[in-house]
């Protein structure tokens, strides 16, 4: 090749670089931090755009929502689209964003990126491109079904006796490690029928002792009040009134129901509790046997309307509320005798005449007063008009006299 030909090729190459240097295809790549995951795992996909003097990159991406769920992103990406910027002077050689997904189900998940707009630092459009990344998702391992616990096992529980209201065998748990303890209570070492168990108690208090019971399958589980003196167990329930909490108790056999009250079941919240009811003309009155926060045990008057409790005392009989008697219409007035009616009519006519005369004289007086004021006003206006005419005539004469004087020739 001759020297002239070589120079020509070099000039053409330089010209091509000058014209097309900023419109070359940018490199668009997508990569996952792991290409194999299980359903429930997270996977992060990084989108990277490399080139010369990059300033802005915009585009979209799609994925199968049945296989992947958008979790979070950074670098200018959002769910389904991205807008990347460079704050560097003269642009940047790399723009990147990260999107994190959660794998939902087994399958091959593809994230398909499409770069729709790419600008350099001078605002010139550059060629765009696409990128894809594939993630293989395996099904999550099946959760093993735990073997049912036999709460009738003597190693775990102690068979309970005398459980009030129980329709099946109940068992006292030896441990309450994973059970929430009621407020003010703490875990305590107790003895039930000669066996060591864990229960709940309030230190330095006569609050009832609690044991945790359930049936052999773990159903009907909950705390029960343990009355050791009577060897009795019954469900632990509380009733709140204002800011106080009352523990419902079972009265001893020596505690009889107050006179006039009969045992019943009362719905409080989601539970049916034992109560005593008395009915009078105004409705039902309920009593609960409970212990207040001060340790006072006894019957408490319970008002279902506002769920309040107060110490029960023998209440006086409430007065019966009887409806008011029906209103009987008054009988029509008996007509007066003819002579009496005539006399009453004459009196009424005389009163009417007197009233009409008074009204007539009042109207006449008011009219006369108005007429007098009107005449007086006219007289005052007439006098004032005459005075103005007189003053005007006087000023006119003075003006004429001045004019006559000014028209006479002046003496020399």
- pLDDT tens column, 292-317: 888 889 999 898 888 888 888 755 55
Q: Where are the beta strands (DSSP E) in 179-249?
A: 186-192, 195-201, 209-214, 222-227, 232-235, 238-241, 244-248
Per-residue confidence (pLDDT) for residue 385, from 0 to 100:
76
- Nearest Cα to 225, choosing from 216, 238, 215? 238
> Averaging pLDDT over each range in 160-164, 340-344, 395-399, which range is the top one?
160-164
In the three-class reduction of DSSP (H, G, I as helix; E, B as strand; rest coil), residue 151 is classed as coil
Angle ∠(351,353,357) on CA atoms, nearest 5: 120
Position 400 pLDDT exceeds 80: no
- More confident position, 305 or 75: 75
Question: Are the beta carbons of 213 and 222 closer than 8 angstroms?
Answer: yes
- pLDDT tens column, 117-154: 999 988 899 988 899 999 999 998 888 888 899 999 99
Picking from 145-154, 285-294, 334-343, 377-386, which range would have the lowest pLDDT averaged per residue?
334-343
Position 396 pLDDT exceeds 50: yes
Residue 397 confidence class, pLDDT cut points 50, 70, 90: confident
Position 231 pLDDT exceeds 70: yes
Per-residue confidence (pLDDT) for residue 318, from 0 to 100:
53
Per-residue confidence (pLDDT) for residue 21, from 0 to 100:
41
Per-residue confidence (pLDDT) for residue 19, from 0 to 100:
41
Picking from 160-169, 272-281, 369-378, which range would have the lowest pLDDT averaged per residue?
369-378
Per-residue confidence (pLDDT) for residue 347, from 0 to 100:
56
Average pLDDT, the chain: 82
Picking from 35-39, 231-235, 356-360, which range would have the lowest pLDDT averaged per residue?
356-360
Distance CA(192)–CA(195), nearest Å, equals: 5
Position 411 pLDDT exceeds 80: no
Whole-structure pTM value: 0.46
Per-residue confidence (pLDDT) for residue 3, from 0 to 100:
57
Percentage of residues of the chain with pLDDT beyond 90: 50
Per-residue confidence (pLDDT) for residue 406, from 0 to 100:
56
Per-residue confidence (pLDDT) for residue 146, from 0 to 100:
84
Question: Are the beta carbons of 190 and 199 closer than 8 angstroms?
Answer: yes
Position 320 pLDDT exceeds 80: no
Per-residue confidence (pLDDT) for residue 293, from 0 to 100:
86
- Nearest Cα to 264, choosing from 246, 289, 282? 289
In the three-class reduction of DSSP (H, G, I as helix; E, B as strand; rest coil), residue 260 is classed as coil
DSSP state of 8: H
Percentage of residues of the chain with pLDDT beyond 70: 78
Q: Give the mean model confidence (pLDDT) for residues 244-249.
A: 88
Q: Give the mean model confidence (pLDDT) for residues 246-266.
A: 90
- Nearest Cα to 210, choosing from 238, 230, 179, 188? 188
Per-residue confidence (pLDDT) for residue 386, from 0 to 100:
76
Residue 75: exposed, middle, or buried by beta-carbon count in 10 A (0-12, 13-18, 19+)? middle
Q: Give the mean model confidence (pLDDT) for residues 5-9.
A: 51
In the chain, domain spans: 25-138, 157-236, 242-311
Assess if CATH 2.60.40.680 describes domain 25-138.
yes
In the three-class reduction of DSSP (H, G, I as helix; E, B as strand; rest coil), residue 14 is classed as helix
Q: What would the two tokens of residue 236 be? A: 């632990």
Per-residue confidence (pLDDT) for residue 404, from 0 to 100:
65
């Amino acid at each position: 090749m001759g020297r002239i030909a070589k120079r020509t090729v070099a000039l053409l190459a330089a010209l091509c670089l000058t014209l097309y240097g900023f419109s070359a295809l940018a490199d668009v790549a997508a990569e996952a931090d792991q290409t194999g995951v299980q359903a429930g795992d997270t996977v992060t996909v990084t989108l990277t755009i490399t080139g010369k003097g990059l300033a802005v990159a915009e585009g979209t991406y799609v994925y199968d929502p049945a296989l992947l769920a958008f979790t979070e992103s950074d670098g200018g990406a959002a769910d389904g689209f991205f807008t990347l910027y460079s704050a560097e002077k003269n642009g940047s050689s790399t723009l990147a964003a990260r999107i994190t997904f959660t794998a939902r189900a087994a399958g091959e998940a593809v994230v398909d990126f499409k770069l729709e707009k790419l600008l350099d630092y001078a605002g010139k459009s550059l060629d765009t491109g696409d990128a894809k990344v594939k993630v293989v998702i395996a099904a999550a391992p099946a959760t093993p079904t735990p073997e049912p616990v036999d709460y009738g096992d003597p190693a775990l529980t102690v068979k309970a006796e005398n459980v009030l209201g129980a329709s099946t065998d109940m068992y006292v748990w030896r441990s309450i490690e994973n059970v929430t303890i009621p407020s003010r209570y703490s875990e305590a070492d107790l003895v039930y029928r000669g066996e060591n168990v864990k229960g709940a108690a309030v230190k330095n208090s006569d609050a009832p002792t609690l044991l945790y019971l359930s049936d052999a399958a773990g159903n009907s589980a909950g705390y029960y009040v343990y009355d050791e003196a009577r060897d009795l167990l019954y469900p632990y329930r509380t009733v709140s009134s204002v800011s106080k909490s009352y523990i419902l108790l079972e009265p001893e056999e020596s505690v009889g129901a107050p006179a006039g009250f009969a045992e019943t079941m009362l719905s409080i919240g989601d539970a049916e509790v034992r109560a005593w009811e008395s009915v009078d003309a105004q409705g039902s009155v309920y009593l609960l046997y409970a212990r207040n926060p001060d340790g006072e045990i006894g019957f408490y008057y319970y008002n279902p309307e506002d769920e309040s409790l107060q110490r029960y005392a023998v209440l006086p009989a409430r007065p019966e509320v009887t409806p008011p008697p029906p209103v009987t219409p008054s009988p029509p007035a008996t007509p007066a005798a003819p002579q009496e009616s005539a006399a009453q009519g004459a009196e009424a006519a005389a009163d009417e005449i007197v009233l009409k005369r008074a009204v007539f004289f009042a109207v006449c007086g008011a009219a006369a007063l108005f007429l007098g004021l009107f005449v007086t006003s006219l007289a005052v206006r007439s006098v004032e008009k005459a005075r103005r005419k007189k003053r005007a005539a006087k000023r006119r004469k003075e003006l004429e006299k001045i004019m006559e004087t000014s028209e006479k020739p002046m003496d020399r």
